[in-house]
Amino acid sequence: MLYPNVVTFDGHAILALESREHQAAIYQAYNDGVYEFSRHQRDRFVPLAAVPLWDVEATVAEMTRCAELGFTGVVWAATMDRHGLPSFTDHQWDPVYKRAQDLELSINFHVGVGSTANDITSFRDLRDGQFDYGYWAGTSTQHFLANSNTVTRLIMSGVCQRFPDLRFVSVESGFGFVPYLLEALDWQWRTVGAPEHYPGCLLPREYFCRQIFCTFWFEQGSLSLIRDYADNVMFETAFPHSTALSPGPTSSALSPRQIVEEDAQVLDRAVTEKVFSTNARELYRIG
């Protein structure tokens, strides 16, 4: 899966441009480029569309154009409010979700999307005049867990209820938090009396199991719990940056092959097939 980097992760820089036509053209150029790069090897490279997140009309138009090219997913942001826009759960974005649902495009929330200029500056913090590795490690981990907030808001705001056929993906966030989060959401939903006030709504866990996927790469301690969510989990490598399965002189990470071989010893065959192959193939219509 090919995710846009600067063009989406640091979209604030493009948002600063005065011309909406210029903004839209940048995304069109990126999508055309990644399409050309991958179109002859779609069994190996699957591109995700980048869109001008802050512009509903332009986003719907670009999603439609990309779907016609064969894209099967779009990268979206859970940080709209940090850029002075309505929350990603606001009804303002319903036309985007409705069009994605009609086009059978998955909505992918990558933890790196939506950075502000201040976020980029903060990564330069130093410890004793040197790059602060502790700060980087801690901040990266917090980014993973931030997607628990995204999942919670998707479920509890009614987005999943309004668009029951739309699929969402939490990318580079890991899996381990999911069982606890869903148990807690179900518990809170019941104990505050929500079922009485929202008759006909599903339990939070049921919305997750129906519509939301998460990804994992390095985890070992929570592997045994994946069997309960085998239809909602996909393997990733997070390549090619410092938290990736990319062993080398500066990383102690195991290779993807080693991880897969080790995980297959814990997961039964049916679960292994789903999380390492079937789920992604079906969601992104690969092969």
Taking only the tens place, the pLDDT of each residue in 119-164 is 555 555 666 777 788 888 888 898 899 999 999 999 999 999 999 9
Of 40-54, 105-119, 182-196, which has the strongest mean pLDDT?
A: 182-196
Joined together, the tokens standing for residue 256 give 């993807």
Quick one: pLDDT at residue 135? 84
Quick one: pLDDT at residue 114? 62
pLDDT tens digit sequence for 202-250: 999 999 999 999 999 999 999 999 999 999 999 999 988 888 999 888 8
Res. 48 pLDDT band, cuts 50 70 90 = very high
Task: Kindly report which listed range (29-33, 111-115, 252-256) carries the lowest average pLDDT score.
Answer: 111-115
| Domain boundaries along the sequence of the chain | 6-237+269-283
Quick one: pLDDT at residue 221? 94
63 HSE (CA, 13 A, CB side): 26
* Residues 134, 137, 140, 146, Cα dihedral to 10°: -80
Quick one: pLDDT at residue 160? 98
Joined together, the tokens standing for residue 92 give 């303002």
The CATH classification number of 6-237+269-283 equals 3.20.20.140
Q: ω before 204 within 30° of 0 (cis)?
A: no
Quick one: pLDDT at residue 67? 98
Q: At CB < 8 A and 24+ separation, what contacts does 98-104 make?
A: 98/163, 99/60, 99/63, 99/64, 100/63, 100/74, 100/166, 101/163, 101/165, 101/166, 103/63, 103/64, 103/67, 104/67, 104/72, 104/285
pLDDT tens digit sequence for 5-35: 766 777 777 877 888 889 899 999 999 999 9
Quick one: pLDDT at residue 225? 96
Q: What is the mean pLDDT of residues 53-74?
A: 96
